[in-house]
Chain A
């Protein structure tokens, strides 16, 4: 919705036409009416209408009555971006996003942005339209493929592609190479799987990839090489494994996200494959051994904790990595390497559960990159509560005890289900 004030000509027309069946309902707030003592009352505020620039206009000529039907709308304006359409793609730039946690990561979005730049350049050079094809393996939760710049989507939601299945995925990519006109392959050179799959593809197609590439201009890519010490500039290859922040993500267009044509999908006949790598699933890792800087889930203790034995039990029950604020460390309750904040470790956890931490500026800096922050605190006005996505105003000791009980119950129920199955 935009803030621009718009006239509703139909409404104005109805207001002018007293014989219109809707006139009475629309013209309800009258600007003048007969008072109880027979005096004509006028509402001075109802005179005139709000003009297109939001300024009140009074038209004395009598050609317009009532307000112009313009209602000032408030709220954040969501801009509807223009749709970028490709009817018949002559070639494809294929992107295989990592889809960390089932969503496009910022790295994926950068790569998609670069793919669009490449499509634009190649389309101009070849004189025909190309499209960005994203190949997504396994289930996903992403709803914003259109604004990320996906023209065509090949979603392979088969259980054989979930988990670590590089051979099956490579099989799909090589058959895409055979059936489609692929001008370039773009993969994020990440540890989440993109770097692995891209290198497998390059070895299979016998093409030399550009790895850890971070800039692409005028057909030349710049790659980080020699263990991050050198930049190698080389002509762009067909397979590009791009580093983080390699280009700006798509921001000015929306895209169609059409599923790849069914006949094309049917043509993708996959050769039989004997898998030589078998995924046995993730292994339970001791959360206290995970470095604080890269832990996924942190339970952090502050000044509000009185019973540290209970806190350690809670961390064990939740299987969370322990963190601490500076006060807890200075008091000697937690070791120094557990300190979170500007002077300690800058954490990147997905979920940060802060217990009894009021949120000093230095601490809030340290948790700046956390996705979700949950606070347990007795003070509803503290800075941590302002930062948190979920705050519970309660005493830490009672809360931790209740949480341990609840989590243990939840785990017990889950294990019971697994045993039954």
Chain B
């Protein structure tokens, strides 16, 4: 724990959305948002405020409360509303040091644009794919960013900032039903900006994407015939029969260095 954090509490706002099960589409706590809340709750000396912009009556919100959150602020918004302006207003009135969000919503357009738009409006930096927050203090946050292939990158960001929490963050704690029922949902008043642009977009269930075919672009009949009949054979690599084991190990090490996998 950082010494400077003990003197002043850290204001953390977590933006929560209602998720949907990928197969049944049943509403649930959104996976990445739950991870963001888990991360916020596990930050030392953090005062966590959870905000949801949407339907206050959704039962799935209780699952967030069941994670040990005493109260949840809801900015009531209809489904077709643009939630960015109302969240920007809220964050301007209730200043936070860290704003945690998921990477992408599980409902609606799920473009993943919200954290970027918030950061742009507020003039804050934004870091996507955060897997862990290591320390917060001295006007900086040290975070770990998830990279493909399970790798991690250390970054420092100046505060205040928006962090999008990735799938790779620690799994969220279990939600307790009774605790969720006892939690308070505070409905605030909020203006509604309708997202008129998407009114005439067509929405349909996801179609299975066509598998890419291997197209043979051969100019002559002989080439086409060869492509259709020839067995795809690996041309075989280099085979070494080393005189000493060191010689073979050298060859392997050389290839590993060329590929840059030795770290």
Contacts and interface: CB of A to CB of B under 8 A. Distances in A.
State the main secondary structure of chain B at its contact with A: mixed
A393 interface: yes
A202 interface: yes
B184 to A, nearest CB: 28
B20 interface: yes
Contacts of A101: 260
Contact of A399 (B161, B205, B248): B248
A256 interface: no
B150 A392 contact: no
A79 B219 contact: yes
A234 B110 contact: no
B261 A350 contact: yes
Nearest to A205: B120
A196 B209 contact: no
Given A225-B111, A227-B104, A229-B205, A252 B129 contact: no
Interface stretch (B41-49, B64-72, B140-148): B140-148
A199 B20 contact: no
Interface stretch (B1-9, B93-101, B170-178, B234-242): B234-242
Contacts of A294: 148-150
Interface in A394-420: 394-395, 398-399, 401-403, 405-407, 410
Interface in A236-252: 245, 248, 251-252
Contacts of A268: none
Interface string B108-135: 1111110011011000011111000000
Interface in B206-258: 206-207, 209, 212, 215, 217, 219, 234, 236-242, 245-246, 248-253, 255-256
Interface residues of B, number: 76
B81 interface: no
A200 B106 contact: no
Contacts of A320: 261
A399 to B, nearest CB: 6
B248 A394 contact: yes
B197 A233 contact: no
Given A226-B110, A280-B155, A289-B150, A389 B203 contact: no
Contact of A394 (B22, B125, B155, B242): B242
A284 B246 CA distance: 28
A319 B263 contact: yes
A50 to B, nearest CB: 17
B212 A245 contact: yes
A295 B150 contact: yes
Contacts of A386: 234, 236
A402 B245 contact: yes
Contact of B116 (A79, A203, A372): A203
A277 B127 contact: yes
B156 interface: yes
B19 interface: yes
A318 interface: yes
Given A234-B201, A372-B259, A282 B112 contact: no
Nearest to B218: A79
B90 to A, nearest CB: 18
Nearest to A298: B261
Contacts of B212: 245
Contacts of B149: 290, 294-296
B238 to A, nearest CB: 5
Given A278-B156, A285-B150, A351-B259, A403 B238 contact: no
A119 B206 CA distance: 28
B151 interface: yes
Contacts of B242: 392-394
A318 B256 CA distance: 10
A21 interface: no
A156 interface: no
A227 B106 contact: yes
Contact of A278 (B22, B151, B155): B155
Given A285-B150, A297-B261, A276 B241 contact: no
Contact of B238 (A164, A291, A389): A389
B238 A391 contact: yes
Nearest to B164: A196
B262 A233 contact: no
Given A204-B120, A282-B151, A399-B248, A229 B236 contact: no
A307 interface: no
B91 interface: no
Q: Most B CB atoms within 10 A — which of A214, A385, A394?
A: A394
19 contacts: A192-B148, A200-B126, A203-B119, A211-B109, A226-B106, A227-B105, A227-B107, A228-B206, A230-B205, A232-B203, A278-B157, A280-B153, A280-B156, A283-B153, A285-B150, A294-B149, A351-B255, A371-B259, A372-B255
Those 8 A-B pairs whose CB atoms lie nearest each other, nearest first? A290-B150, A227-B106, A389-B237, A280-B154, A392-B248, A402-B249, A203-B116, A276-B125
Interface of B: 19-20, 22, 25, 104-113, 116-117, 119-120, 125-129, 142, 144-145, 147-158, 161, 197-198, 201-207, 209, 212, 215, 217, 219, 234, 236-242, 245-246, 248-253, 255-256, 259-263
Given A394-B248, A403-B249, 11 more contacts: A202-B113, A204-B120, A211-B109, A225-B110, A229-B25, A232-B202, A281-B153, A371-B259, A390-B238, A392-B252, A410-B253
